[in-house]
Structure 1
Amino acid sequence: MAPRRSPTARHRRLMAELSRLREDSGLTRVQVAERIGSTDTTLWRYETGLTRPRPSDVSVLTEVYGVTGEARDSLIQMAREARQRGWWHRHRQALKPGFDSYIGLEAEASVVRTYEPLVVPGLMQTEPYARAVIEATAMTQAPSEVDEKVSVRISRQQLLHGPGDPIQLVALLDEAVLRRQIGGRAVMREQLEHLVDLGKLPNVEIRVIPFSAGAHAAMDGKFCLLSFPEPEDPDLVYLEQATSGLMPEDPEEVRRYTLMFGSLSALALGAEASATFIAQMARRCSAP
């Protein structure tokens, strides 16, 4: 299948490549700017992602850096792709700051590893459950804004089923996620049954961290790790708060969360035991 392509991920790769090429050339931003008739501030904005360069800008830079052939063509094509707009772009005003960038990177990720202590992760929510969560957390938003957020959340779930290579999802859920009744008994039962069904997919692994596991390394809150199909794209971590999202790319911080996820995995029930536990919780929701 054709690989998924995301403008956000293409832009992330492009800015890293432009920075690497300049450093490898031994030139400063000022020296490069003089050669292309631009400013060092413009180059800084290209390399930090604040500005998306045009393909013609990248073409000029490849001449300065001595990049030719397929490597040059690849960079120019990357610039074209980076300037496109993903489907999520039109919804950016309805999303918390930083989350549109996360969706763009998630769209090209090969593996998503997520730890959730309170609610079912968005990629696995049913529509009624998603609406109940969004209504509870939105507090002051108009119904139309709630509808838009629900639509975005459900649209993201196409990543689990295609088109293209489906994303690999590994979800570690605190037991509280299964016990917190959101949207009423019927909505919760449907959601739990949906988790059992999702866990049967070859690209989805759902594991439960039981209360009996006690204290653990992630008690400060939820997080999500993204890995990408190309080795040139390093992993990143996404941290979500009530009003914003943060994606620190410091390798040491990403490493810390990677180790944390491994620690949590050691505490979680296996996939089969987790499925049995979730099914039991769903039956409890059916009981009078």
Structure 2
Amino acid sequence: MAESPDPAVLRRRLQIELRKSREATGQSQKEVADALAWSPSKLLRIENGAVGITVTDLRALLGHYGVRGKQVDELTRLAQGSRKLTTATYGKSVPTSTIKFWNLRSSAVRVRQFETLLIPGLLQTEEYAREVITSYSTPDLSSEDIDDRVAARMDQQGLLDREDRPELYFMIDEAALRRWVGGPEVMRNQLDRLKKRAEADRLTIQVLPFELGVHGGIRGPFQILEFAEGEDYVLYIDDAAGGLASRDMEAETERYLTLFWDLEAVATKPWELNGFLDKVLADFNPKPAGNDAPESNT
């Protein structure tokens, strides 16, 4: 069982192994909880990854499942590592839920992301990211907090430069490309960044043009993280409060995965990206060639 330094990933691997161990015994969560004199909600939260588990409780649980020897030691190490999650790396201005998501994404073997209105965070320039983060900020968020969040987002882009980075598939609605975030110069730089990023191996960018009309992705942005064989998918979608909601329900994850494949089929092909972006870039500078009139900002 390969280990990862990311506590959120260790917790997820632990919850998968515990669920498998229970299912192998044929027992329900309630039956196990009753046998250990636990409340049913306690085991539910452990298996969902909502809470960690102490070594004492883990050993009691594994003993009940009949797990012995080396596997106990491996799961104990996962439990100990999974309880070390901290926000210290990025400062208190970045929510713990966001850091947990970043930790999970960093260990995925494949990432699929669809965005309707904004460029995906992993592809944003610093100027673009600052405009977005500032626009989302609340009155109690200081300029230092904004700086921290921008720095954290830029730091996360190191994922794209790793030799062992996951396969990355980005699906972007044309609306995100044409929305003037920070003005035309910021957008020119941003679209140029997309061109450069698309040159990398194992990174694909496709666009859903306006001419498609209404499509299934209109319901909102989402990401699907795919892990190593034997570990399942994780679906993240934007919730009503602007945060990230994790849904491990198999049917819903499968529905979004099918939706992503459907969008891939009708989106621009990867080799068409530069031509499409050039057309969008031309609209950010409507000044006719040879005309020295000031650039329009309308």
CA distance in 2, matches of 1:240, 1:44: 24
Higher relative contact order (CA 8 A, sep 6+): 1
Once residues 62 and 92 of structure 1 are traced to their aligned partners in structure 2, the CA distance between those partners, rounded to angstroms, is 36
Q: Which moves more between the two structures, 126-135 or 63-72?
A: 63-72
CA-CA distance at 1:259 after TM superposition:
1.0
1:1-40 residue CA offsets vs partner (Å, 9 max, x unmatched) = x985421122122123223322322452245415xxx666
Kindly, what percent of the aligned residue pairs are identical?
Answer: 30
Tell me how far apart the structure 2 counterparts of residues 198 and 56 of structure 1 sit (CA, whole Å).
47
Which of these residues, 232, 235, 246, is aligned with residue 234 of structure 1? 232
Q: Distance in 2 between matches of 1:50 and 1:261?
A: 28
Q: In the aligned structure 1, how far is the partner of 2:277 from the partner of 2:172?
A: 10
Aligned pair count? 281
Is 1:22 aligned with 2:25?
no
Where do residues 196-275 of structure 1 align in structure 2 (5 Å cutoff)?
A: 196-229=195-228, 231-241=229-239, 242-275=241-274
Which runs of structure 1 show a deviation greater than 6 angstroms over 4 or more consecutive aligned residues? none
Give me the CA root mean square deviation. 2.5
Matched, 1:127 2:126: yes
- 1:24, 1:194 → 2: CA distance? 49
Give the conservation status (yes or no) of the 8 Å contact 2:91–2:148. no
1:174 aligns to what?
173
Deviation string, structure 1 residues 208-238 (Cα, Å, up to 9, x no partner)? 1111111111111111111112x23211211
Q: Within the alignment, does 1:33 sit opposite 2:36 as a pair?
A: yes
What amino acid maps onto 1:149 in structure 2? R
Give yes or no for the alignment of 1:63 onto 2:63.
yes
Matched-pair contact (CA < 8 Å) for 1:170–1:204: yes
TM-score, L = length of structure 1? 0.87
1:104-149 CA distance string (max 9 Å, x none): 2212111111111111100111111100111112253321221121
Alpha-carbon separation, structure 1, partners of 2:16 and 2:224 = 19
5 Å-filtered alignment, 1:4-153, equals 5-27=5-27, 28-33=31-36, 42-85=42-85, 88=87, 91=90, 93-95=92-94, 98-140=97-139, 141-153=141-153
Partner of 1:68: helix, strand, or coil?
Answer: coil
Residues 206 and 273 in structure 2, CA contact (< 8 A), matched pair in contact too = yes
Say if 2:158 is the partner of 1:158: yes
Alpha carbons of structure 1 residues 44 and 265: separation in structure 2 relative to 1, 3 Å: closer
Deviates more, 1:137-146 or 1:245-254: 137-146
Letter paired with 2:36: A
Q: Which runs of 5+ in 1 are unaligned?
A: none
Q: Say if 2:4 and 2:10, in contact at 8 Å, map to a contact too.
A: no
Return the alpha-carbon distance in structure 2 between the equivalents of residues 172 and 114 of structure 1: 6
Distance 1:112 1:29, change over 3 A: same
TM-score (norm 2): 0.84
Cα deviation for residue 279 of structure 1 reads 3.7
> Does the C-alpha gap of structure 1 residues 32 and 78 become closer, same or farther in structure 2, counting only changes over 3 Å?
farther
Distance 1:260 1:3, change over 3 A: same
Counterparts in 2 of 1:180 and 1:40: CA distance versus 1, 3 Å: closer
Q: Distance in 2 between matches of 1:146 and 1:177?
A: 22
Q: Which is worse superposed, 277-286 or 241-250?
A: 277-286
What SS does the aligned partner of 1:94 have?
A: coil
Partner-residue secondary structure (3-state), 1:53: coil
Taking the aligned partners of 2:147 and 2:256, their CA distance within structure 1 comes to 33
Q: Is the 8 A contact 1:196 1:279 kept in 2?
A: no
Deviation at 1:74, TM superposition (A): 2.3
Structure 1 residues 4 and 185, CA gap change in structure 2 (3 angstroms): farther
CA distance in 2, matches of 1:113, 1:98: 19
Q: Which has the larger radius of gyration?
A: 2
Q: In 2, distance between residues paired with 1:272 and 1:16?
A: 39
Cα gap change, 1:89/1:236 in structure 2, threshold over 3 Å: closer, same or farther?
farther
